[in-house]
Amino acid sequence: MIVWLWEASGPGKFQGITGDDHAARRAAAHCITSGAAETATVEAASLMIGVSSLTDCYHRTGTGWMARRSGAGLCWEALTAPGLAAS
């Protein structure tokens, strides 16, 4: 199962989990446009169900976006996987 994790921070700290990327981006963007946060990250994650420990967790995929305020709106940039940045 794929879910979308979002978090926004500075000066406040907010986070959530949604079932689709559009809802996650709207929630994160609202934190920035309201002035409650300065940056946000939205990332896809897969639900990992723990068999031996009976503990569920999320495995981040590296697919998603980062947002920051840009003029009167927001600037969204795609996340880059570690080690894949251009040199």
* pLDDT per residue as tens digits for the range 3-15: 999 999 998 899 9
| Per-residue pLDDT, 82 | 55
Residue 83: φ, ψ to 5°: 85, -5
Q: What is the pTM of this model?
A: 0.80
Q: Is 84 left (phi over 0), alpha (psi -120 to 50) or beta?
A: alpha
Given a cut of 70, is residue 86 above it in pLDDT?
no
Sequence spans of domains, the chain: 2-78
Contacts of 38 (CB under 8 A, 6+ apart): 9, 10, 11, 32, 68, 69
The Cα angle at residue 20 between residues 19 and 24, in degrees rounded to 5: 100
Q: 3-state DSSP call for residue 54? A: coil
